[in-house]
Chain A
Amino acid sequence: MFYRGNNQALITQLKRLQHESASVSDISGFERLMDSVKQFPGSYQFHYRSYWVSLAMIAMVGAALTFYDWQRLQHMQGSSWLLVAVSVAALLLVLGLMIYPWQLLRSVSARLLQQDALLDNGIKPVSFHSPALTRELLSRFNEFHRGNYRREVKALYQGRFDGDEYAFDYRYLHFHYVDERIVIETYTNSKGQVRTRRRKVYDHYDRYALIMPFQFVRDVAVVSFANSLLSGSTYKPASNRFNERFRVIAGDELTAAKTMKPTVVVALEEVGELLSKPNLEFNGSADLCLSFADNDMIKTPSKVTLSDFTAFIEAIEGQQSFAKLQRTLQSIHYLMTKLDNNF
């Protein structure tokens, strides 16, 4: 009702793409979706001119009427304030009508780019039941024993890395946890008396993790972001820089000493430079959970939108890479080659 011509067709197209992109799970499905993007007969440019004209007219008419009303009595009265309110409401409505398609275009473009980037990197979203998955993670890794109020997995993906010597499947997940704490506040009541009250405060945190079978190390944790549940022998390698950032906790000191070879220490220093608050936990089943605070591991670096159609199609047709993910996986592969203990 508020949109006409190309604007209306564009909104219908964007809503359709938004709906259909939710069910895309493979390359052929995505290619079909992109065909429908290319076959759209209209333009992906939203035409704002009529909205700018409306904005200007509403502003001018509202100001003129308010001025006329004020001039009659030389002060603002009820009707003047009503005119101002109606004008502002009309301005906000028009602004909303302008922002909605812009926002829709941005979100659909970002979604398509993100799906393309995931497909380019062979990463698939995995459906999961959060409580069951959280229980599984809690039983396998100490890393997830965080949050005294709530713990949940918000997203799960599956991928594969093929290195020169080893290939492995990995899971990437977004873990969210909430800590509840009680704060005591002082306040002054209506009688001027200073009183204290207890209030519950909820702190929300996010961690991200890569989980994979590692094979070569068991019961060792290298942590830069403390986890109180981890216990065992601690070990300090010779590197000052490593010790400034990480703490090594292992089932026994000998295992830690054998694991922390100089090449491993230097590789972990580099992981510490690459990621924010990284923790590596090798559990009793020789699986590795590498957790960190970075939220951009599988985020498309491209910011182009459908309104810049040629650049958008170029971005989709080119190879998008998750540089940080690739560097992290290469580091894990390097650690495997240095810890495989062939000799």
Chain B
Amino acid sequence: MTELWVVIAIAIVLLVTVIAIYNGIISRANAAERAWANVITQERQKNKIIPHLEDVVKDYKAFEQSTLTQVTELRSALQGLDANKIDTAQLEKTEARTGQLLKSLNITVENYPELKASESYQKLMKEITDQQDNIGAAIRIFNQNVEDFNNGIETFPNSWVNGLLNKKVKIKTFSDSEAQEGFDYKPNF
């Protein structure tokens, strides 16, 4: 009789552990998805800044020509982002477009000292910098949550519960491909 109770107790402990691991994987997956949605929300804030940018440069024809193409490319990249589907490749593309636009802006504005000195341009640049900082921070939070999630499905016995029940796959963290290009070193994982 005692042996039966021991078996039942072990079964209950195992069941509770499996339920806790299962729920843990679900909540970490949700946290990663929420952090992703947060990144997309921050990215889409750019849609509010772009009209301001167009307003500021509209009187500078050459400037406008070179900028407009990149603005269009950025808009198209932003449209490709989906808050419900984690797609770090598309995010990398959007960030690359943003980087190109900002680089081009910084070079071109040197030819227009009065524009560079104007209050509206200064304000706009501060807003863009602030926005980029928020995107950077949101990506950092996303990567942290993805790391938590990946650890949560790869470590034992979570990997066993995940393989059997949750069946979640590892999420790719965001990496700055432009920054990586500057390094010769490539980690072997």
A residues near B (Cβ < 8 Å) are 237-242, 261-263, 265-266, 338, 342-343
Contacts A238-B35, A240-B31, A342-B123 known; A265 to B141 CB distance under 8 Å? yes
B140 within 8 A of A: yes
A338 contacts which of B127, B130, B148 (Cβ < 8 Å)? B130
B78-86, B131-139, B170-178: which one contacts chain A? B131-139
Is B31 within 8 A of A238, CB to CB?
yes
Question: Contact check: which of A239, A261, A338, A342 meets B144 at CB < 8 Å?
Answer: A239
Partner of A342, one of B126, B134, B140: B126
Which 9 pairs, one residue from A and one from B, show the smallest C-beta to C-beta distance?
A262-B137, A262-B138, A238-B35, A266-B137, A239-B141, A263-B137, A238-B38, A238-B34, A262-B134
Question: In this assembly, does B28 line the interface, its C-beta being within 8 Å of a C-beta of chain A?
Answer: yes
B141 near A238: Cβ-Cβ < 8 Å:
yes
* B159 CB-CB contact with A under 8 Å: no
> Is the CB–CB distance between B28 and A240 below 8 Å?
yes
Query: Mask for B110-137, Cβ within 8 A of A = 1, else 0?
Result: 0000000000000100110010011111
| Shortest Cβ distance from B31 into A: residue | A240
Q: Give bound CA distance, A266 to B141, whole Å.
A: 8
Residues from chain A with a CB closer than 8 A to the CB of B98 are none
- B48: nearest residue on chain A (CB-CB)? A343
Bound complex: CA of A240 vs CA of B130, how far in Å? 23
- For A239, the chain B residues whose CB sits under 8 A away are 35, 141, 144-145
Quick one: which of A261, A266, A343 contacts B127, CB cutoff 8 A? A343
Complex Cα distance, B123 from A343, in Å, reads 8
- CB <8 Å contact, B144 and A241: yes
> In this assembly, does B42 line the interface, its C-beta being within 8 Å of a C-beta of chain A?
yes
**Cα(A266)–Cα(B133), bound, Å:** 11
- Per the 8 Å Cβ criterion, residues 9-50 of B in contact with A are 28, 31, 34-35, 37-38, 42
- Distance between B89 CB and nearest chain A CB, rounded to angstroms: 21
Q: For chain B residues 33-80, which have a beta carbon within 8 Å of chain A?
A: 34-35, 37-38, 42
Q: For chain A, what secondary structure do more than half of its interface residues adopt (helix, strand, loop), or is it mixed?
A: helix
Q: A342-B126, A343-B123 are in contact. Are A266 and B140 (CB under 8 A)?
A: yes
Closest to B141 in A: A239
For B35, the chain A residues whose CB sits under 8 A away are 238-239
Q: Give Cα distance in the complex from A238 to B103, angstroms.
A: 30
Docked complex Cα distance between A239 and B148 (Å): 11
Q: How far is the CA of A294 from the CA of B31 in the complex (A)?
A: 31
Given contacts A240-B148, A343-B127, contact A263 B134 (CB under 8 A): yes
A262 CB contacts on chain B under 8 angstroms: 38, 42, 134-138, 140-141
B145-167 interface bits toward A, Cβ cutoff 8 Å, 1 = contact, 0 = none: 10010000000000000000000
Residues of chain B at the chain A interface (Cβ within 8 Å)? 28, 31, 34-35, 37-38, 42, 123, 126-127, 130, 133-138, 140-142, 144-145, 148
- B144 and chain A: residue at smallest CB distance: A241
Give the docked Cα–Cα distance between A239 and B127 (Å). Answer: 23
With a cutoff of 8 Å between Cβ atoms, the chain B residues found around residue A237 in the complex are 141
Closest A residue, CB atoms, query B37: A238
A237 to B135 CA separation, bound complex (whole angstroms): 15
- B134 contacts A261, C-beta separation under 8 Å: yes
The distance in angstroms between the C-alpha atoms of A242 and B144, with both chains bound, is 10
How far in angstroms is the closest Cβ of chain A from B83? 12
CB-CB under 8 A from A263, the residues of chain B are: 130, 133-134, 136-137
Q: How far apart sit A242 and B148, CA to CA, in the bound complex (Å)?
A: 13
The chain B residue with its CB closest to the CB of A243 is B31
Chain A residue nearest to B127 in the complex (CB): A343
Alpha-carbon separation in the docked complex, A292 to B134 (Å): 27
Shortest beta-carbon distance from A293 to chain B in Å: 25
For the complex, give the distance between the alpha carbons of A237 and B137 in Å.
12
A-B contact pairs, 23 of them (CB 8 A): A237-B141, A238-B31, A238-B37, A238-B138, A238-B141, A238-B145, A239-B35, A239-B141, A240-B144, A261-B137, A262-B38, A262-B42, A262-B134, A262-B140, A262-B141, A263-B130, A263-B136, A263-B137, A266-B141, A338-B130, A338-B133, A343-B127, A343-B130
Bound Cα distance from A237 to B37, whole angstroms: 12
Chain A positions within 8 Å of B38 at CB level: 238, 262
What residues on A are CB-neighbors of B123 within 8 Å? 342-343
Q: Report whether B137 and A265 are in contact in the complex, using a CB–CB cutoff of 8 Å.
A: yes
User: For residue A264, which residue of chain B has the nearest CB?
Assistant: B137
Question: Which residues of chain B are within 8 angstroms of A338 by Cβ–Cβ distance?
Answer: 130, 133
In the complex, what distance in Å separates the CA atom of A238 from the CA atom of B38?
Answer: 7
Name the A residues within 8 Å of B28 (CB-CB). 240
Chain B, residue nearest A261 (CB): B134
Closest to B139 in A: A262
In addition to A238-B31, A261-B137, A263-B133, 19 A-B residue pairs with Cβ atoms within 8 Å of each other are A238-B34, A238-B138, A238-B142, A239-B35, A240-B28, A240-B31, A240-B144, A241-B144, A242-B141, A262-B38, A262-B134, A262-B136, A262-B137, A263-B130, A265-B137, A265-B141, A266-B141, A338-B130, A342-B123
